[in-house]
Copies of this chain bind each other. A is one copy, B any other.
Amino acid sequence: MARKPGSRAEITGPRLRDAALRLFARDGYAAVSMRQIAAEVGVQAGAIYLYTADKQTLLFQLMQDHMDALLGAWADSTPPLGDARARLQHFARFHIRFHAARADAVFIAYMELRNLTPANFATVEALRKRYETELETILRAGQDEGTLAVPDTKLAAMALIAMLTGVNTWFREGGRLSRDRVEEIYVDMVLKAAGARA
């Protein structure tokens, strides 16, 4: 049987994480075995434990990395100079684009929350809350400016994020509508829902 020669640590680690991400997204954390993940990469089950402490840590790091990437990308995005209405539009576009590009990680990040240990859950939840706060800040500014009108800032933030993230449950490249057109339609609905001036 084709035995692999020696050291490939630098690439085996990332490949294991990629395989875990894809399999967890497709079948669910509880339904995927360490053997499956190993087989996907072409190593034996035992070898996984050279790269992660255990299955729980593997899941946790996938989710933490995703949330870090999300917050990092948001921080790096250049918000428009205009009013809160323009910043909300920017947020909606950013959210859809970032999430569309990482469907597996997004799916895991909120389907597998209950499979985290309480300590790991708290860490991930804090990151998620930080992202939500970014949107709340925009909505509050719009309320103060008079460019947006939301009945409750916190609820509106959760409602808009739920609406935007929902795109991932059905969007497939090559469908009836292009990615850009979907983005346009959702941005329109988000602005309307937030009471943006026409």
A residues with a Cβ closer than 8 A to B are: 26-31, 111, 114-115, 150-152, 155-156, 158-163, 165-167, 169-170, 177, 182, 184-186, 188-190, 192-195
Cα(A30)–Cα(B184), bound, Å:
38
Number of copies of this chain that the complex holds: 2
How far is A69 from B177 in the complex, measured between Cα atoms in Å? 33
Distance of A64 Cα from B193 Cα, bound (Å) = 32
Q: A26-B114, A193-B193 are in contact. Are A166 and B156 (CB under 8 A)?
A: no
Whether the Cβ atoms of A185 and B152 lie closer than 8 Å is yes
Determine whether the beta carbon of B151 is less than 8 Å from that of A162. no
User: Is the Cβ of B163 less than 8 Å from the Cβ of A159?
Assistant: yes
Q: Is the CB–CB distance between A188 and B151 below 8 Å?
A: yes
Out of B115, B152, B163, B166, name the residue touching A177 (CB < 8 Å): B152
**A162 touching B155, Cβ below 8 Å:** no
Closest residue to A182 on the B side, CB-wise?
B155
Complex Cα gap A194–B114 (Å): 33
Per a CB cutoff under 8 Å, which of B111, B115, B162, B185 touches A162?
B162
Instruction: Find chain B residues with CB under 8 A from A166 CB.
Output: 158-159, 161-163, 166
When chains A and B are docked, how far (Å) is the Cα of A169 from the Cα of B31? Answer: 23
Please name 8 further chain A to chain B contacts, defined as beta carbons within 8 Å, in addition to the given A28-B115, A161-B166, sorted by A numbering: A28-B30, A29-B30, A155-B177, A158-B166, A163-B166, A189-B193, A190-B193, A193-B193
CA distance A193 to B92 in the complex (A): 14
